[in-house]
Amino acid sequence: MPRFATMENATQFELRLANRMSRLGTETAFEVLNKARALEREGKDIVHLEIGEPDFDTPANVVEAAVGALHKGWTHYGPSAGLPELRQVIADYVSRTRGVPVNTDEVVVVPGGKPIIFFSVLALADVGDEVIYPNPGFPIYESMINYVGARAVPIQLREERDFGLDVKELASLINDRTRLIILNSPQNPTGGVLPESDIHDIADAIGDRNIMVLSDEIYSRLIFEGEHFSIMSIPGFKERTILLDGFSKTYAMTGWRMGYGVMRADLAAHMTRLMTNSNSCTASFTQIAGVEALRGDQSSVDRMRDEFKRRRDAFVAGLNKIKGFSCRMPKGAFYAFPNVTATGWPSKKLANVLLEEAGVACLSGTAFGDFGEGYLRFSVANSLENLNKALDRIGEWIGKNL
């Protein structure tokens, strides 16, 4: 008798997943990327505008710092909340940029921005609690809220408000069961930026209720018009805000996996326990590079932002020339989110045919929630040459099929 099940009889054992797994969502960008790669293996040429990551290399000074750290032996476990040096640099940076005093014990370093979403929802929302989140929005919010058994309450982002939210509508969604409100500005997928006056109105709508705000500011350095403003800066909100920021987008470090949360020290201690239970710590040599990223020369950040702006301007102008497409000028991040309802095609179908027939990979607005119907998301984190190629291909396909 073989000791272990063979491949043939392994399937006799039904996979018995925990119920909660049926409530866990995903991020469609990775699925579309896989599908696009499969088409490429068949010999098709695809322009990749589906994935939200800078196409630039990580700045050389940051890479050097990581290599140096590896040689110096930063290869061991570190504290779960992050290396004290990096927590201090982050505390200084957030104090400076958000205008509120921040201590190191209010900073938790994690592998990417995503774990802060995961941990915030896990730590704060019980079964039956309500969490308000932007829709269309980063899909991980809704996925995590559902996963923990809380009630996901969407606040619609409205094109006519430049993809901002209607604060009166938000106020009407807040009730005694609301535990957490998620804000994201600059926003994925719309590129919308919440004006400072709206953030003040949101703070007024929350008033003195004991509700936490998860403020996802991962694109805070990618603003093309105006200044970034955080709800954390409003008096009375520091202790009710979890600020999410990180290195992925600002320093083109998506694959390094490093982000952070800034929050009241008592909550930070619980987040740290979640880190101990899940990851132990963020990679130590990566954190040494993080110190250099925040402290060192920032000119590469400005260069990347200027380049994204150039591409945004060209791509949005091009989209607006295509029949059935109309696109607002995004004020931040690196996405264009055109309204395609005038094509008469449902978003998902249109995204599919553009991939399969036009060779342009983009995402359906519905990958970001139900209120994304009628839109497509394109990442402009690609060369101008490829963006122009994509515009030509879409224009040609629409010309033939509309």
Ligand X SMILES: Cc1ncc(COP(=O)(O)O)c(C=O)c1O
**Which residues of the chain form contacts with ligand X (CB under 6 A)?**
52, 112-114, 138, 184, 188, 216, 218, 246, 248, 254, 259
Choose among 264, 261, 287, 374: nearest CA to 327: 374
Please enumerate in sequence order all residues whose Cβ is within 8 A of that of 22, keeping only pairs 6 or more positions apart, or say none.
Answer: none
Four-residue CA torsion sign, 32, 382, 340, 367? positive
Smallest distance, Å, CB 200 to ligand X? 22
CB of 87 to ligand X, least distance (A): 17
> The tokens of 63 are what?
């890479």
- Contact predicate 156/184, CB 8 Å: no
> Can you tell me which residue has the tokens 């990180």?
246
- Kindly tell me the burial class for residue 35, based on how many C-beta atoms sit within 10 Å of its own C-beta (0-12, 13-18, 19 or more): middle
DSSP lists the bridge partners of residue 152 as 131
For residue 318, give the nearest of 239, 391, 235 by alpha carbon. 391
Q: Is 178 helix (H, G, I), strand (E, B) or coil?
A: strand
What is the rounded distance in angstroms from the CA atom of residue 384 to the CA atom of residue 382? 7
Q: Which helix (H) or strand (E) holds 215?
A: strand 212-216
With vertex at residue 179, the alpha carbon angle to CA 175 and CA 181, rounded to the nearest 5 degrees, is: 90
- What secondary structure does DSSP assign to 319-375, as a single string? HTTSTT-B-----BTTEE--B-GGGT--HHHHHHHHHHTT-EE-EEGGGG-GGGTTB
CA gap 76, 69 in Å, rounded = 11
Tell me the backbone φ, ψ of residue 338, rounded to 5 degrees.
Answer: -70, 145
163: left (phi over 0), alpha (psi -120 to 50) or beta: left
Q: Are strands 241-246 and 259-262 parallel, antiparallel or unpaired?
A: antiparallel
Which of 112, 95, 113 lies closest to 103 in space, CA to CA?
A: 95
Q: What is the DSSP letter of 255?
A: T
